[in-house]
Amino acid sequence: MDEPKHPVTTVDRTLQIVEIIQELDGAGVSEVADRVDVGKSAVHNHLNTLANREYVVKEGEEYHIGLAFLGLGAYARKRNEIFDAAHAEVDKLADETGELVNLLVEKSGQGIYLYQAQGDNAVELDTYEGKRVNLHCTGLGKAILGFRPEDEVEVILDEHGMPAETEHTITDPDAFFEELAEVREQGYAVDEEERLNGLRCVAAPITDDDDRAIAAISVSCPVHRVDDDRFYEDLRQAVLGAANVVELEHNYS
């Protein structure tokens, strides 16, 4: 992302405070001040201004993200063409498989969960719509990066690294590029406990007319409940079918 030529420090500081509150799942003035280069009085003024506009709410001594952001997020998502083309198919896939279905897009080298739907047997995870994740450790991320130019992937890995989320995370660039080659050849990606222990995901890219991935869709399920036959046959085919429908809707509607 290009740095602004003339950044507005106050705006930047306010957004930094908001991100800290989200990261900590609520924080007091002192906690926020410890994370930014301003005093408690300035932090208090920022938070009071945000609270007055209902972008944060005060609960006891802590501030939390307010519902005013929900309207902005919903509006931003509604404007996204992929969401418009995919959300009905995500719902359908969750209903058919009974599992958790995710739709992810890439922004500034990270993945953003754009939409989720839960089937009857869906597992509860730490993800939510709007959450950012690194791309190297998810099936969704690998599905996207497998259909991006290698030099672009290298830039993303250089910027965000390849931290080990679990003992199964691929952290070696050479091994990762080998896997991306397989993803491109077979048309789908898997995550075998690479971001969360006990969770496996199968994902398919959603590509444009130039065969460039613009999003990915996945089914996530517990390792202990879904065997290889169902995972690599039924769920894989279901995800590939859903991705194909979304591609047609997005590219040719």
Is the same domain home to 103 and 135? yes
**Nearest CA-CA partner of 169 in 141, 138, 145:** 138
What is the predicted pLDDT for the residue at 78? Answer: 79
Domain boundary among 25, 46, 66: 66
Q: What is the pTM of this model?
A: 0.84
- Residues 26, 81 share a domain: no
What pLDDT is recorded for position 37? 80
pLDDT tens for each residue of 33-74:
999 888 999 999 999 999 999 999 999 999 999 988 888 888
pLDDT band at 1 (very low <50, low <70, confident <90, very high): low
| Percent of the chain predicted with pLDDT > 70 | 98
Is 92 in the same domain as 52? Answer: no
pLDDT of residue 70: 85
Number of Cβ within a 10 Å radius of residue 149: 10
Residue 152 covered by a domain: yes
Burial of residue 24 (CB within 10 Å: 0-12, 13-18, 19+) is: middle
pLDDT over 70 at 123, yes or no: yes
- Of how many residues is the chain composed? 253
Q: How many domains does the chain have?
A: 2
Examine the domain organization and report whether 197 and 108 are in the same domain. yes
Asked if residue 116 and residue 31 are part of one domain, the reply reads: no
SS3 57: strand
pLDDT digits (tens, 9 = 90+) for 177-220: 999 999 999 999 999 999 999 999 999 999 999 999 999 999 99
Q: What SS3 state is found at 245? A: helix
Co-location of 248 and 130 in the same domain: yes
| CATH number for the domain harbouring residue 194 | 3.30.450.40
* Same domain, residue pair 107 and 157: yes
pLDDT of amino acid 38: 84
The answer to whether residues 115 and 151 belong to one domain is yes
Give pLDDT, residue 89: 96
Asked if 187 and 156 sit in the same domain, the reply is yes
Q: The domain that contains 30 carries what CATH number?
A: 1.10.10.10
The pLDDT assigned to 102 comes to 97
- Specify whether 167 is located in the same domain as 239: yes
Do residues 93 and 33 share a domain?
no
Regarding whether 177 and 92 lie in a shared domain, the answer is yes
Over residues 124-148, the pLDDT tens digits come to 888 889 999 999 999 999 999 999 9
**Domain end among 66, 91, 113:** 66
Percent of the chain with pLDDT over 90: 79
In a domain, 2, yes or no: no
Owning domain of residue 36: 9-66
